[in-house]
């Protein structure tokens, strides 16, 4: 990564010289780029994947006809009080990286990493990508590029039930001086000062017919649901169960045209409504 950073910098210097302009200071900027990232299923900026899978909440105006369409399909809907005239719709989302074969045993999400781990991830990113260090230079603390200033976008996540105030305060006091810039956001469902967070935790339980799609459960999964053998596989459907204010995603095979709502209702029981996407 340091080699790529240095190559980008030297090429920028050369190109600026050819054009007779100043060398841009944004050569290795990593901006949030949220909209572009979402198109490709990637994380924003330097962010670790937020969670293995989650509901992504999207705002709509209350008069948008799509709200009723999504509600009729079973998507979770919440009318906002803080942002009057707006409603949010939750969409089941799986980051592309978590779908890579064999990746999950090695993948660490922001929800699983400690604050200290995330500060170290950001610090190393700044050192190798922004400052162009290689391993030897990093160990010797020998700078290879001029200090032309820059930053990479990262939002550090924490869970209040894991990270108490004292630890939170200690991390900010001791780790903030070691990085250039960082945002901090809670990752709690229902325990946040915010009316809603951009993402809500979900977990996935996969039926036996999808062994090739099996995914490890997030450690915060509020429930586990056993799934019996379903009808002959023709299509794969997903059902997210909203239970006790939290949700689980269940993937199973069923016949095309079968009564998916019936399956969802049987799984959801009395705990909540079902969400179906095909």
Average pLDDT, the chain: 75
Among residues 186, 208, 234, the one where a domain terminates is 186
pLDDT band at 153 (very low <50, low <70, confident <90, very high): very high
Residue 222 pLDDT greater than 80, yes or no: no
Among residues 146, 164, 186, the one where a domain terminates is 186
Which of the residue ranges 24-38, 52-66, 119-133, 201-215 would you say has the lowest mean pLDDT?
201-215
Residues 149 and 110 in one domain: yes
pLDDT in tens, 224-244: 333 333 322 323 334 444 433
Number of domains in the chain: 2
Predicted local confidence at residue 196, as pLDDT: 84
What is the SS3 string spanning the chain? CHHHHHHHHHHHHHHHHHHCCCCCCCCCCECCCHHHHHHCCCCCCCCCCCCCCEEEEEEEECCCCHHHHHHHCCCCEEECCCCCCEEEEEEEECCHHHHCCCCCCCCCCCCCCCHHHHHHHHHHHHHHHHCCCCHHHHHHCCCCCCCCCCCECCEEEECCCCCCHHHHHHHHHHHHHHCCCCEEEECCCCCCCCCCCCEEEEEEEECHHHHHHCCCCCCCCCCCCCCCCCCCCCEEEEEEEEECCEEEEEEEEECCCCCHHHHHHHHHCCCCCEEEEC
Residues 24 and 111 in one domain: yes
- Residue 135 or residue 146, greater confidence: 135
The reply to whether 40 falls in a domain is no
The mean per-residue pLDDT over the stretch 107-123 comes to 92
The reply to whether 45 falls in a domain is no
Residues 28 and 104 in one domain: yes
Residues 179 and 219 in one domain: no
Predicted local confidence at residue 34, as pLDDT: 78
Among residues 161, 186, 211, the one where a domain terminates is 186
Domain hosting residue 70, numbered range: 54-93+192-277
pLDDT in tens, 239-261: 444 433 344 444 443 333 333 34
Predicted local confidence at residue 230, as pLDDT: 30
């Amino acid at each position: 990564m340091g080699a790529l950073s240095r190559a980008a910098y030297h090429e920028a210097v050369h190109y600026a010289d050819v054009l007779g302009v100043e060398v841009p200071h944004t050569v290795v900027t990593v901006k949030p780029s949220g909209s572009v990232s979402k198109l490709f299923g990637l994380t924003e900026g330097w962010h670790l994947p937020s969670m293995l899978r989650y509901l992504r909440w999207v705002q709509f105006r209350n008069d948008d006809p799509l709200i009723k369409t999504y509600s009729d399909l079973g998507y979770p809907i919440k009318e906002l009080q803080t942002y009057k005239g707006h409603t949010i719709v939750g969409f089941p989302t799986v980051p592309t990286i978590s779908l890579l074969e064999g990746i999950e045993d090695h993948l660490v999400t922001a929800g699983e990493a400690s604050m200290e781990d995330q500060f170290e991830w950001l610090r190393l990113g700044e050192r190798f990508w922004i400052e162009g260090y290689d391993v030897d230079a990093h160990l010797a603390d020998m700078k290879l590029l001029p200090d032309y200033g820059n930053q990479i976008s990262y939002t550090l996540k924490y869970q209040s039930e894991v990270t108490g105030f004292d630890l939170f305060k200690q991390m900010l006091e001791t780790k903030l001086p070691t990085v250039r810039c960082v945002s901090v956001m809670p990752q709690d469902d229902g325990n946040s000062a915010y009316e809603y967070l951009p993402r809500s935790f979900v977990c996935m339980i996969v039926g036996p017919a999808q062994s090739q799609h099996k995914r490890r459960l997030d450690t915060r999964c509020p429930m586990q649901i056993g799934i019996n053998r379903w009808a002959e596989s023709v299509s794969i459907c997903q059902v997210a169960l909203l239970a006790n204010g939290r949700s689980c995603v269940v993937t199973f095979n069923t016949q095309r045209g079968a009564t998916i709502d019936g399956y969802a209702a049987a799984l959801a029981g009395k705990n909540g409504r079902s969400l179906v996407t095909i």
